[in-house]
Chains A and B, each alone.
Chain A
Amino acid sequence: SQELEQSPQSLIVQEGKNLTINCTSSKTLYGLYWYKQKYGEGLIFLMMLQKGGEEKSHEKITAKLDEKKQQSSLHITASQPSHAGIYLCGADGAFNKFYFGSGTKLNVKP
């Protein structure tokens, strides 16, 4: 199975500050996904990365996949209260199964 380690487990930042969440895999990643989950709701797809060195941005969120395709980072610039939630990285396993990291709980203080 795919082992995904996510750090930190939780994060509290002041509004306007930048932050980074990391996701490390025990195996080479062929598809790395970032999701956001608000409490009690379904997952929201943020970004998918496939190529080594790939970087994607959406609004104030940037995700990167390293050249070796074993580590990804999610960076939020100038955080806002609307960014609060649980961020999950996920990866493709065999037969299109998805495996998830342990999640990072983000709180943004106004």
Chain B
Amino acid sequence: SAVISQKPSRDICQRGTSLTIQCQVDSQVTMMFWYRQQPGQSLTLIATANQGSEATYESGFVIDKFPISRPNLTFSTLTVSNMSPEDSSIYLCSVVKGFMNTEAFFGQGTRLTVV
């Protein structure tokens, strides 16, 4: 199993500012992912956080808006830059241990409100 600590759990931010969300895992993991869940919608994959290299972004998401760091196998950050009210969402960190067809583990999420 994996225990994930995601911080902050919630925040209210002014538009135009940036927020960095941290994801700390209690053990080394192969893959780390960042998801967004907008109100009333399902989870959408933002990017795969790659250890020691640039993150791999899904269509519709760009590094300038969502810079991601992964300095080691247990930690990653997601920054939501130049925020607007449309960025108000729950952001979730997820990890996978091992390779294909293994269980995913999720952080408790960060509820972001942009005003």
Contact = CB atoms under 8 A, between A and B. Distances in A.
Given A96-B30, A96-B31, A101-B42, A42 B104 contact: no
B42 A42 contact: no
B28 to A, nearest CB: 15
Chain A contact residues (Cβ within 8 angstroms of B): what range? 20 to 34
Contact of A41 (B43, B44, B99, B109): B109
Interface residues of B, number: 26
A23 to B, nearest CB: 11
Interface string A86-110: 0010101001111111110000000
B100 A88 contact: no
Contact of B108 (A35, A41, A100): A41
Interface of B: 6, 30-31, 33, 41-45, 48, 90, 92, 94, 96, 99-109, 111
Interface of A: 6, 30-31, 33, 35, 40-43, 45, 48, 50, 88, 90, 92, 95-103
13 contacts: A30-B101, A33-B104, A41-B109, A42-B108, A42-B109, A43-B43, A45-B104, A48-B101, A48-B103, A96-B96, A98-B33, A98-B45, A99-B45
